[in-house]
Amino acid sequence: MNTAPTRANGTAGTAGAPDTPAVATAVEPAAEPAVGPRWLDAEEQAVWRSYRHATTLVDDSLDRQLQRDAGMPHIYYGLLVQLSEAPRRRKRMTELAKDAKITRSRLSHAVARLEKNGWVRREDCPSDKRGQNAVLTDEGFEVLSKAAPGHVTAVRQAIFDRLSPEQVRQLGEIMRLVAEGLQPTGPDADLPWLR
């Protein structure tokens, strides 16, 4: 919804407000107008809905492709990719959660499933007795290598084949700006991988 709530008489107002306008008197100064939400204009609303529609469809398309061709959801594929790119194919669980932008409990569940498949194993972190590393196994690397060609084809078909080089550059710039604005760095930041 993108309009302010209305009163029974059709005028804009707030819930519970009287139907008659307040009268300013010499004794009581007029109240400052309440600052409400900055509603989206028609163009912003259309862009927002297009974004939501497109990202939902892209996520669904990539997830179905990976389930069909590799027997894993997109999030598992992303974890395997991160481990394959890490030194010695291993990464601290806390870093893996941060890079995947997921909660530690969700990561723990995903890694448990990947362990069950034989694609990942956990090992104690030598530099921190409380920490653990996730390690990509040879079998996991083989599964990832077989899944990658089909996945990159699906990504190209979903996004890059539909855009000009200039649109690709613009999309990258826009997504970087959005991501930077949503990653606070303060100690009390409410971020998934800190939960």
Q: How far is CA 66 from the centre of its chain?
A: 19
Burial string for 82-102 (b: 16+ CB within 10 Å, else e) reads bbeebeebbbbbbebbbbbeb
pLDDT attached to residue 12: 44
Q: Residue 159, exposed/middle/buried by CB under 10 A (0-12, 13-18, 19+)?
A: middle
Burial string for 163-186 (b: 16+ CB within 10 Å, else e) reads eeeeeeeeeeeeeeeeeeeeeeee
Report, in this order, helix, strand and coil percent for the chain, each rounded to 5. Answer: 55, 10, 35
pLDDT attached to residue 177: 93
List the chain pLDDT tens, one digit each, 195 residues.
454 443 344 444 444 444 444 444 455 656 666 688 999 999 999 999 999 999 999 999 999 999 999 999 999 999 999 999 999 999 999 999 989 989 989 999 999 999 999 999 999 988 777 789 999 999 999 999 999 999 999 999 999 999 999 999 999 999 999 988 887 666 666 666 665
- Contact indicator for 120, 135 with CB cutoff of 8 Å: yes
Q: For the whole prediction, is pTM greater than 0.85?
A: no
- Contact indicator for 5, 12 with CB cutoff of 8 Å: yes
pLDDT attached to residue 52: 96
Q: What is the DSSP letter of 28?
A: S
